[in-house]
Amino acid sequence: MSESLELPTVETAGFSCKPTSDGGKLSIIFSGTGDVAAIEILGKYLKQVHAEAERSGLTEVTCDFRKLSFMNSSCFKAFVVWIDTVKNAPRVYQIRFLTDPDMHWQRRSLEALRRLATTVVSVEGG
Amino acid sequence: MSGDGTPLVSLEVSFGAAPPQGMVTPLCQSLLELCRPVFEDEDAAARLRLTAHELLENIVKYSADSSCELHFELRRTDAGPLEARIRTRNVPRAENRPDAEARLAALTAAADPLEHYDSIIADSARQPAGSGLGLARIHAETEYRLSHRFEGDALFIVASGEVWLKKGALP
């Protein structure tokens, strides 16, 4: 993680978010299972991501889902709220999802997130 | 689809009260592992898992303090594929019942599940809880058919979809 990035790694039983930064871009690796135990942590974390994106003037945030085996609708909703916030922010940045084509739920769920904000969200690897 | 006769596979999990949240993922993961070796494709197992997970989490979140159950079965049909069916039974908290009824009715009446899903997603962005996102997700992402009925205070939700088995996977 770069020195300028003010975003921690968070971990709970079976779920983690690990950030890395490269210039004006931030990547976060999501791992494990996004279930009920992860909801509160994830909601708070995505608010932190947005605050960091605004503070640092980020142009892009990449969410790497390739190690995320499942996400329930409450965790999905945390991303909906975040994307809606970004879509309506004064300065919009891009949100890019990296997926594992073998995890079939990712293609369907993330495509729904892309439809929510087609100019903000892109999905790769599905 | 006939769905009559003895199921090829049947599994029922009953709870004396709403199960703890921590049981949802292991239970649904077990269902995934149970079906994975016999389903023809991994996607079918993933859709089943998502369906079971969302239905079971709804039970955890919205049940009154009384018994509930999750029932899974695989049945032969008159056509080629099998029918995978998940049925849940629980007693929703009284204050949640009108909302549950309205959401389920809107969901099953929606002509286009994807359009309905997109609308629920957009609405849920500014709604604190109880948006019906989980059920809409099942309907749109898994293509399972959803139906529901109340018997007294008990709510039954049935989700069913077609699956193909690997050749020779089951007798």
Q: What is the ipTM of this complex?
A: 0.90
For chain A, helix, strand, coil in percent to 5 are 40, 35, 30
Q: Which amino acid does the sequence have at B110?
A: A
Residue B67: partners with Cβ closer than 8 Å, 6 or more residues away:
B14, B15, B16, B17
Would you call A126 an interface residue with chain B, using a CB distance cutoff of 8 Å? no
Q: In Å, how far is A94's CA from the nearest CA of chain B?
A: 18
Residue A90: partners with Cβ closer than 8 Å, 6 or more residues away:
none
Per DSSP, B42 falls in state: H
User: Looking at the partner chain, which of B21, B118, B125 has a beta carbon nearest the beta carbon of A81?
Assistant: B125
* Confidence bin at A107 (pLDDT 50/70/90): very high
Residues of B in contact with A79 (CB under 8 A): none
- Across the beta sheet with A15-22, what order do the strands follow? A10-12, A15-22, A25-34, A60-71, A94-98, A121-124
Cβ atoms of residues A2 and A21 within 8 Å: yes
* Confidence bin at A13 (pLDDT 50/70/90): confident
CB contact under 8 A, B22 and A105: no
Ranges of residues in chain B whose predicted pLDDT is under 50: 1-3
Would you call B30 an interface residue with chain A, using a CB distance cutoff of 8 Å? no
Q: Please report the pLDDT score of residue A27 as a whole number.
A: 96
Interface of B with A in 34-73 (CB under 8 A): 42-43, 46-47, 49-50, 53-54, 57, 60
Q: What are phi and psi of B99, to 5 degrees?
A: -65, -45
Residues of A in contact with B141 (CB under 8 A): 105, 108-109, 112
Q: Please report the pLDDT score of residue A46 as a whole number.
A: 97
Q: Which residue has the higher pLDDT, B139 or A4?
A: B139
Residue of B23, B33, B50 to mutate when probing chain A, most A C-beta within 10 A: B50
Within chain A, what is the greatest distance between any pair of CA atoms? 36
Cβ atoms of residues A73 and A60 within 8 Å: no
Residue of B33, B55, B59, B141 to mutate when probing chain A, most A C-beta within 10 A: B141
- Chain B: residue whose CA lies nearest to A85: B125
Q: How far is CA B81 from the centre of its chain?
A: 19
Q: Please report the pLDDT score of residue B1 as a whole number.
A: 41
Residues of B in contact with A70 (CB under 8 A): 25, 49-50, 53
Q: Please report the pLDDT score of residue A126 as a whole number.
A: 54
Region A96-113: mean pLDDT is 95
Cβ atoms of residues B57 and A36 within 8 Å: yes
- A2 pLDDT higher than 60: no
DSSP B53-115: HHHHHHHHHHB-SS-EEEEEEEE--SSSSEEEEEEEEE-B-GGGHHHHHHHHHHHHH-S-HHH
Instruction: Report the candidate in A83, A84, A73 with the shortest Cα–Cα distance to residue A108.
Output: A73
Q: Please report the pLDDT score of residue A25 as a whole number.
A: 85
How many residue pairs bridge chain A and chain B with CB atoms within 8 Å of each other?
A: 71
Q: Please report the pLDDT score of residue A22 as a whole number.
A: 79
Give the model confidence (pLDDT) of A33-83 as tens digits: 999 999 999 999 999 999 999 999 999 999 999 999 999 999 999 999 999
Q: How far is CA A105 from the centre of its chain?
A: 16
CB contact under 8 A, B46 and A37: no
Residue A33: partners with Cβ closer than 8 Å, 6 or more residues away:
A14, A15, A68, A69, A70, A71, B25
d(CA A109, CA A94): 18
Residue B127: partners with Cβ closer than 8 Å, 6 or more residues away:
none
Cβ atoms of residues A92 and A58 within 8 Å: no
Q: What is the pTM of this model?
A: 0.92
Would you call A43 an interface residue with chain B, using a CB distance cutoff of 8 Å? no
